[in-house]
Amino acid sequence: VPRLWGYSKSNYLIFASGLISIFFGYVVMATGEVNSFQSLTLAPIFLFLGYIILIPISLLIKTKEN
């Protein structure tokens, strides 16, 4: 029986880690001062990691199942 939905547990875990990274990035940005390392460097790294790396990887990875 072919699977209609092509995502496995690992896809969902990577996607969830991307969402957590995005959430953490916004929290770090909101709690930092305007011109601080936290708001200008750390938060964008977490947002970039979530939006540009983790979520697309979770959608593109195909896992083999036995």
Direct distance between the N- and C-terminal alpha carbons of the chain, in angstroms, rounded to an integer = 13
pTM of the entire structure?
0.85
CB 24 within 8 A of CB 41: no
Distances (CA, A) of 47 to 11, 25, 41, 51: 19, 5, 10, 6
What is the band of 6 on the pLDDT scale with cuts at 50, 70, 90? Answer: confident
> Comparing 25 with 66, which gets the higher pLDDT?
25
Q: What is the pLDDT of residues 16-52, one digit of tens each?
A: 999 999 999 999 999 989 999 999 999 999 999 999 9
